[in-house]
Amino acid sequence: MTEPTTTLWRPVGPGELALIRESGMRAFPPRLPEQPIFYPVTTEDYAIKIARDWNVRASGSGYVTRFEVLQSYLSQYRVEEAGGRAHREYWIPAEDLEDFNAAIIGEIVVTREYWPDSAE
Give the list of residues 6+ apart from residue 72 with CB closer than 8 angstroms, or none.
3, 4, 103
- Domain tally, the chain: 1
**Is residue 76 in some structural domain?**
yes
In a domain, 8, yes or no: no
Beta bridge partners of 7: 68
Q: How far is CA 82 from the centre of its chain?
A: 15
Taking the model in full, what pTM does it have?
0.93
For residue 110, being part of any structural domain is answered with yes
Residue 94, in any domain of the structure: yes
pLDDT band at 119 (very low <50, low <70, confident <90, very high): low
Rounded to an integer, the average pLDDT of 14-19 is 97
21 found inside a domain:
no
Domain containing 104: what range? 32-114
pLDDT in tens, 25-67: 999 999 999 999 999 999 999 999 999 999 999 999 999 999 9
CB 8 within 8 A of CB 48: no
Q: What is the mean pLDDT of residues 62-81?
A: 97
